[in-house]
Amino acid sequence: MVPLAASRVRPLAAGAVILAALTGPCAAAGPAILLPWGDALAEAIQALGAVLVPLAATAAVAALARLTGPLRVLVTSTLVERLVRNVADYGINAVAGAVRGRTLTVPVGARVIASAVERALEQAPGWLVRAAGGVEGLGEKVFRSLPLEEAATADNTLAPALQAARGRRPATQP
C-alpha cells in the first residue's frame, strides 16, 4: 500500500467528522429517514395543473372555432338539399299531369318548377332561400332534380318557370 501524505489525510478526516456530526442525530432517531416528498409532489402536480388546464381549455376552444365553419357549411348544404327535395315533391303533387317517378314533359316540368319555387318562397326561411342561391339558384336546383324529357333545356323549361314564379311571388310584408 502506498502511504498517504499527511496533507491529504487531514481534509478527509475533517470531512468524516463533520459528516458524523450532521448524521449523528438522525441515526439516533432510528434507522429510517423520512422525507416529505409526497407534499412536494402534490404541490408540483397542482402547479402543473394550474398551467396545463388553461392551455387545454384554450386548445379546445381553438379547435371548436376551426370546426364551426365547416360544420355550418355542412348543415346549410344539407338543409338546402332537403328543401329542394321537399319543394320538388310538393311541385309534383301540386301540378296536374305530373307523376312521381315518370319523365315530365317541358310544359309540365316548367309548372312543377314554378310551383316548387313558389312554395319555397312562401314557406322556407329567407336565409335558407338565400343559401340555395335565391330564386334562380333554387329553380336551377329543382330543375336538375326533376326527371325531365330530353328536349327540356334551361331556356325552354327553367326560364319560363322562373318567370312565372317571379310573377306570382307574394308581396313581402314590411
Contact 87, 117 (CB under 8 A): yes
pLDDT tens-digit readout, 114-168: 999 999 999 999 999 999 999 999 999 999 999 999 999 999 999 999 998 887 6
Q: What percent of the chain has pLDDT over 70?
A: 81
- 13 pLDDT band, cuts 50/70/90, is confident
Cα angle value 154/120/95 (rounded, 5°): 65
pTM over 0.75? The answer is no
Q: Summarize the confidence of residues 13-30 as an average pLDDT.
A: 66
List, in order, residues 6 or more apart from 121 with CB less than 8 Å away: 129, 135, 165, 169, 170
Residue of 2 and 136 predicted with greater confidence? 136
Domain ranges of the chain: 65-167
Grid coordinates standing for 61?
A: 376552444
